[in-house]
Amino acid sequence: MKFKDRVWVVTGAGNGIGRELTLQILLRGARVAAVDIDEKGLEKTREQAGEHGDRLSLHVLNITNREAVKDLPGKVVAEHGTVDGLINNAGIIQPFLKINDLEYDAINRVMDINFYGVVYLTKAFLPHLLERPEAHIANVSSMGGFLPVPGQSMYGASKAAVKLFTEGLYTELMDTDVRVTVIFPGAIGTDIAVNSGVAGDMDLEAGGEDVGSDPLPADEAARKILDGIEQDRFRVLIGSDARTMDFFYRLAPKRAAHLIFNQMKSLLS
């Protein structure tokens, strides 16, 4: 589905890939409802939108608050008249710890934001999207959602849940006018570690997976994501590392797991 003259909702729009998605969607001629818990971050996004800011609305929201999420579609429709697309991008990583050392509060926080936030937003907007002649839902999983990364096991579990949730949604909506895309970023240069409250652990969007390639700039990642959505693609792999490891893990999962362990074990010592 093309972006021009459509209304899109983007979560995590106050920084990183979410900000770049928002800015580039505006450049493609659409309106955007930008969602984030960080009000200052959203204001920065508006500032960077410049002359396109008249097509942008800001919505400060904790996506783990189900009741607050239920109210969001009405606010977006009141602001923009309708809604045509949803990109569930917001997410965090976990502290770089083994499961044995990870506190339950951290486990719950990762699952609430990365998985349940996606579920809540999807449930809230799907009735509206089903009424449109054409609509789209895109959910951001991760390379860590199909490849095990030691020290990020709960992050990976949350993103694997997003993967299968999105794939299931795709099958449920095949006979409707709502298209569905699942996105798998590899290493992306963002401030996700800082925004997740685990600064110093890692600085990669995909949870720190490093298989020898440099992080992809966030603006380039956003462009590839939007191109994939416009092409109504089922799966979008972002970065050479994600493409390589997707193939390798399906071909030889045990060997791939050992490779990742050898790459990451120094961070666990």
Q: Please enumerate in sequence order all residues whose Cβ is within 8 A of that of 95, keeping only pairs 6 or more positions apart, or say none.
A: 102, 106, 198, 201
For residue 180, give the H/E element and its range.
strand 178-185
Partners of 236 in the β-ladder: 183
Tokens linked to 7: 């209304």
Alpha carbon of residue 43 to chain centroid:
20
Q: 223 in helix, strand or coil?
A: helix
Contact present, 114 and 92 (Cβ < 8 Å): yes
Please state, in angstroms and rounded to a whole number, the distance separating the CA atoms of residues 18 and 195: 12
Catalytic residue among 104, 116, 120, 155: 155
Q: Which residues of 35-71 are buried (b: 16+ CB within 10 A; e: fewer)?
A: bbbeeebbeebbeebeebeeebbbbbbebbeeeebee
- Three-state secondary structure call for residue 58: strand
Does 155 qualify as catalytic in the annotation? yes
Q: Which residue type occupies 232?
A: D
Six token digits for residue 215 = 């992080």
Helix (H, G, I), strand (E, B) or coil at 137: strand
Measured over the CA atoms of residue 161, residue 264, residue 187 and residue 212, the dihedral's sign is: negative
Number of separate helices (H) and strands (E) present in the chain? 10, 9
Residue positions annotated with a catalytic role: 155
